[in-house]
């Protein structure tokens, strides 16, 4: 049976890069696909360029993010999924490219096995230099696909690596539209692996993943404080999204990760309040008080590292789970 595969691509001001992405899709050896492109409000030539592709090939479909949805790639990913029709789904990025057998190899594994999703591999390259540099740092040879292993960063994969059966995510797993930068996909895959870990890792390198200076992650890495804050937000929303289904080891890992970062940067009030609530409930009163005092002193004077050290002794280094 010739199944339809949906490739979903959010894009914003990628007119100078997206042609390479779309040409790589046209070159696929498997031809029964649709490419859903969702524009997040580009101000460059993206609109006209993509519409030209749509005129030439009906498999390309172009949408703009509805004004009623929050701006951001995750809103575009959710909207793209809702309008897509494929039996299988692969989210992709507008500055990367597929090797010719990208769809065929993944789909063969999904059709012929009892798996919910497959993960291929990506090669990283920089800027406009298409000379291949290195394979992404996968660790599947050391750690199995499990919910905790993904949450705790023991394993990881890139967004384009995953192809999944539609019914697995349909009305079950969504991209969190409040996350705008760091760990958007991390949050999604944390929820996915809480739902199913029935996946297969294939050893084929099928994606060229572009690293360039104007990417969100690259800019955040230049600002370590901002990166730490955004990552803490991702952990925080992951806790909320998992809700009552969250397992104890996952909860502790996410809370502890936020606590470590919140001792070094000034986190938003909502996250700090969440930490205080967690400490009061799960740790001890002294840990709660020292954390509270440290946050006040750091906010007012940017000092208090003796209290920080004492808090670490009270909580992190004596917590029964760690």
Inform me whether the pLDDT recorded for 215 exceeds 70: no
Give the pLDDT of residue 322: 32
Residue 16: strand, helix, or coil: coil
Spatial distance between the Cα atoms of 137 and 158, rounded to a whole number of angstroms: 10
Q: What digits encode the pLDDT tens for the residues 172-214?
A: 999 999 988 778 899 999 999 999 999 999 999 999 988 755 5
Pick the closest to residue 30 from 102, 79, 127, 83 (CA basis): 102
Give the pLDDT of residue 126: 74
Q: What is the pTM of this model?
A: 0.83
Burial label, 214 (beta-carbon count in 10 A; 0-12, 13-18, 19+): exposed
Q: What digits encode the pLDDT tens for the residues 27-65?
A: 999 999 999 999 999 999 999 999 999 999 999 999 999
Task: Assign 319 a pLDDT band (cuts: 50, 70, 90).
Answer: very low
Task: Assign 238 a pLDDT band (cuts: 50, 70, 90).
Answer: very high
The more confidently predicted of residues 168 and 272 is: 168
Task: Assign 233 a pLDDT band (cuts: 50, 70, 90).
Answer: confident
Q: Which CATH fold would you assign to the domain 5-214?
A: Spore Coat Polysaccharide Biosynthesis Protein SpsA; Chain A (3.90.550)
Contact 264, 309 (CB under 8 A): no
Spatial distance between the Cα atoms of 93 and 173, rounded to a whole number of angstroms: 19
Report strand pairing: 5-11 vs 88-91.
parallel
User: How many residues make up the chain in this entry?
Assistant: 322
Transcribe 192-236 into DSSP letters.
Answer: HHHH---EEEEEEEEEEEEE-TTSHHHHHHH-HHHHHHHHHHHHH
Transcribe 136-185 into DSSP letters.
Answer: ----TTTS---HHHHHTTSS---GGGEEEEHHHHTTT----TT--STTHH
Checking phi first, is residue 59 left (phi over 0); if not, alpha (psi -120 to 50) or beta? Answer: alpha
Q: How far is CA 21 from CA 25, 137, 305, in A?
A: 7, 23, 49
At 278, list the tokens: 């967690």
Spatial distance between the Cα atoms of 180 and 271, rounded to a whole number of angstroms: 16
CA dihedral 27, 30, 32, 37 (to 10 degrees): -40
- What number is the average pLDDT over the span 117-132? 78
Give the pLDDT of residue 267: 67
At 53, list the tokens: 């592709």
Contact 89, 6 (CB under 8 A): yes
Residue 246: strand, helix, or coil: coil
Task: Assign 7 a pLDDT band (cuts: 50, 70, 90).
Answer: very high
Spatial distance between the Cα atoms of 220 and 242, rounded to a whole number of angstroms: 26
Inform me whether the pLDDT recorded for 232 exceeds 60: yes
Q: What digits encode the pLDDT tens for the residues 244-300?
A: 899 988 987 887 787 777 666 666 777 777 666 766 666 667 766 777 777 777 777
Give the pLDDT of residue 220: 47
Contact 196, 116 (CB under 8 A): yes
Average confidence score pLDDT of the chain: 85
Domain ranges of the chain: 5-214, 223-318
Inform me whether the pLDDT recorded for 151 exceeds 70: yes
| Helix H or strand E encompassing 92 | none
């Amino acid at each position: 049976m010739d199944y339809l595969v949906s490739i979903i691509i959010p894009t914003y001001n990628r007119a100078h890069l997206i042609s390479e992405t779309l040409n790589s899709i046209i070159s696929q050896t498997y031809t029964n696909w649709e490419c859903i492109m969702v524009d997040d409000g580009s101000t460059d030539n993206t609109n006209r360029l993509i519409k030209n592709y749509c005129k030439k090939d009906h498999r390309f479909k172009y949408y703009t993010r509805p004004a009623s949805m929050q701006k951001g790639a995750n809103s575009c990913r959710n909207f793209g999924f809702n309008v897509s029709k494929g039996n299988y789904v692969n989210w992709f990025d507008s500055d990367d490219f597929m090797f010719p057998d990208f769809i065929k190899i993944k789909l063969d594994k999904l059709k012929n096995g009892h798996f919910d999703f497959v993960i291929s591999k990506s090669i990283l390259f920089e800027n406009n230099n298409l000379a291949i540099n290195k394979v992404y740092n996968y660790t599947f040879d050391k750690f199995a696909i499990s919910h905790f292993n993904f949450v705790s960063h023991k394993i990881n994969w890139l967004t384009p690596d995953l192809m999944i059966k539609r019914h697995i995510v349909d009305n079950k797993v969504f991209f969190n539209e409040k996350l705008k930068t760091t760990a958007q996909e991390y949050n999604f895959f944390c929820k996915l692996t809480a739902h199913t870990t029935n996946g297969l890792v294939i050893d084929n390198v099928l994606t060229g993943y572009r690293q360039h200076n104007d990417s969100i992650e690259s800019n955040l890495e230049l600002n370590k404080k901002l990166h730490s804050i955004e990552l803490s937000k991702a952990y925080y929303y992951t806790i909320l999204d998992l809700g009552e289904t969250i397992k104890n080891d996952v909860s502790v890992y996410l809370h502890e990760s936020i606590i470590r970062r919140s001792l070094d940067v000034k986190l938003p009030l909502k996250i700090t309040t969440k930490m205080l609530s967690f400490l009061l409930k799960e740790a001890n009163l002294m840990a709660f008080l020292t954390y509270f005092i440290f946050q006040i002193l750091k906010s007012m004077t940017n000092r208090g590292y003796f209290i920080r050290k004492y808090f670490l002794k009270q909580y992190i280094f004596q917590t029964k789970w760690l």
